[in-house]
Amino acid sequence: MRLVSYGAMGSERAGILIDDAIIDLPVSDMRLFLEQPDWRRQLDKIFASRNSAKAIERNSVRLGAPVPVPRKLLRSPGPRAAQAADRGREHEVASR
């Protein structure tokens, strides 16, 4: 089971992908779904009733980012710090 957003760009819907089928979630935006305090319980309930839910074939729709408009963006400074250190070493070698 994967959380997905699907549909036309800019008007995606929230859903869960199970095998090759998407089950629509009760909200249009995945971020709104995840902000609900009981989202895990709701997800378990939807998953349990997946056989009776209307499924959308995965190949019939466009899949987008799971959370199209996140509130936070986390970025690791690791590679940038390593690049800066390498540039410093290159500068030292070039100046000799």
Cα–Cα dist 94/50, whole Å: 63
> What is the extent of the structural domain holding 7?
2-69
80 is a domain residue: no
pLDDT classification of 12: cutoffs 50, 70, 90: confident
In a domain, 84, yes or no: no
Number of domain units in the chain: 1
| Per-residue pLDDT at 93 | 47
Q: Among residues 53, 61, 7, which one has the least CA distance to residue 43?
A: 53
Q: What is the mean pLDDT of residues 39-64?
A: 88
User: Is 64 within a domain?
Assistant: yes
Do the domain assignments include residue 49? yes
Lowest mean pLDDT among 7-11, 17-21, 41-45: 7-11
Residue 59 domain-assigned (yes or no): yes
Q: What is the pLDDT of residues 19-44, one digit of tens each?
A: 889 998 888 888 888 899 999 999 99
At 71, the pLDDT band (50, 70, 90 cuts) reads confident
**Is position 82 within any domain?**
no
Task: Let me know if residue 76 belongs to a domain.
Answer: no
Domain assignment present for residue 88? The answer is no
Distance of CA 11 to the CA centre of its chain: 15
